Structure 1
Amino acid sequence: MKIVVIGGTGLIGSKLVKKLGEHGHEAVAAAPNTGVDTLTGEGLAEVLKGAQVVIDVSNSPSFEREAVMKFFQTSTGNLLAAEAAAGVGHHVAVSIVGTERMPENDYFAAKIAQEKLIEKSGIPFSLVHSTQFFEFARGIADEGTVDGKVHIAPVLFQPIAGDDVAKAVGRTAVGTPLNGRIEIAGPTTYRMDEFFRKALAAWGDTREVVTDPQARYFGSVPGERSLVPGDGAQLGTITYRDWLDQSTAK
C-alpha cells in the first residue's frame, strides 16, 4: 500500500515512515525538504499518484493566532483538493486531545478548523487525538518558567511517547476509515505539577516547580480534565521513565 506521510521528516512522521516501511508498505515522506509544500501545493499532485492513504502530521512553524490558522486552513485545503483529484481513499490526521475544551487557545482553534475541513471533504477519514508527547516535556517546562521557577497547573496530565503515537497512527492508517476519531494517551495519569517535579529531578534540573492553578498551557489555563482523554482511549505501553532511559542511552 502506498502511504504518503505529510510532515514525514519530522518527529512523528519519520517514525511513521520507518514503521510502515518495516511492515511492507510504500511509505513516502512528504515535506518541504523533499519537494512537497502543502502551503503552495508544490509537489502534491506528483507525490499523491497511486497513493491509497495520506497521513498528515505536519505542523505550523508559528503558533501566532493568524499564522497558525492560515497554515492549517491553507495546507489542509490544498492537501484535501489534491487527494480528491488523485482518488486517495483514506485521510488520517493527528490532532490533540482536548481541542474542543479550550477553543480560546489559538493553536487548538486552528486544529478545530482543520478537522472541520477534513470532515466536510467527502474523503473517508480518521482523526487521531493524542495527548502531549514526552518529547516536548522540556519545552513545556521552559515555557512555564518565570523568574527561574517552573509554574505548572495541578491538573490531570497523561503524556505519551512518540513511538506509541506512531504505532497508533500507523495502525489506524492501514485500517478501515473511522469517519470519526479515536483518542490515544500514555499509560500513566499524573498531576501535571507532580509529573514535572519528577521529570526535572530525573533531568538533574534544579529549577523549582511551583503549583500554580493559573499557570498557562500554550496560552490557556487548562481545567482539571482538559488535557486527558475520555473513557475508551487507546493507551501506549512506554512509561516516561522507560522513555527517558532509552533516550539518554542513545
Structure 2
Amino acid sequence: MKNKKLYIIIMSFVSIIIITYSLSLSKTEAPLLSEEIETKWKTELTDNDKYVVIGRSTIAPKNILNKSKVVLLTIDDGPSIRTREMVRILNTHNVKAIFFINGIHDKDNQGIIQQLEEEGFAIGNHTWSHINLKKEKDTNIIEKEINDNTNLIIKLTNNYPRFFRAPFGESNTYIRKLAKDQGMIFMDWSGSALDWDKSTKEKDIFISNVMSNVHSGSIILIHEHPWSVANLDALLTTLEIAGYTYVDPRNIIE
C-alpha cells in the first residue's frame, strides 16, 4: 500500500514537471514576421531618411524638403561565385544595394544569401528561375516561380522579401498584383549599365551607359557578370565624384 502511495506521489510530481516545461516552451517568442520587423525599423527612421518608389522606376524622399542627390543600386541574377567580391567592393564604398536573386542559383552558391542578409543588404525576389512571366500563360507556373523564391528567402533569412523585380522587366497587372499581395514593392529601373551586352566589358562604355541617364532618384540596374564586377568600383567612384550618395534599401518604406 505504501509503495502504491509512493508511486502515485512520484508520478504526480513528474506530471507537474512535464506540464511546467511544456508551458514554458509555449511561451517561447516566435520569430518576428517581416511586418513586425518593418514596423520596428520604420519607427526608428526620421522623415528625412525615408524614401518611396515612384512609378516603379524612381525613388523620391518622403520629405519634399530633402534635396539630397541620391541613387539606388540594384543587382540582378545572383547569387553567383562573384557575389562576395561585389559585396567587398560595395562595403569599401559603404553602399547597400538590393540583390534580386533567383533561387535556382542558391544550390551552387550556398551561404551567400544568408551573408547578404547579415551584412545589411536587401534580398529581392527575382523569381525562381528567371522565366519571362509576361509570356507565361499558366498562372500556376507564374505563382510557383514567385512563391518558391519567396519561401527560399524566408527559409534562409527568416525575413520576407520586401522587393520584387520581374525578369527582363516584363510584367503585367496580374504579376504586379501577385507581388503586392505578398507585401512586396514592385521595382523596375530607370538607369542601367546595359551589361547584358558584352560591349560593356569596356569600362568606359559600362560607366557611360549609367551616367548618360542618371538623375537624382535613379534606380540603377547591373548584373553579376565578370565585367560588371570588374567595373563596379569605377562606377561607384564616378557616381560619388558626380555628387551622388546611395539610398539604403531599408529606408524605402513603400
**TM-score bin, normalised by smaller chain:** 0.3 to 0.5
Give the number of the structure whose residues are more often helix, by fraction. Answer: 2
Give the number of the structure whose residues are more often strand, by fraction. Answer: 1
Higher RCO, Cα 8 Å, sep 6+? 2
Q: TM-score, normalised by structure 2?
A: 0.33
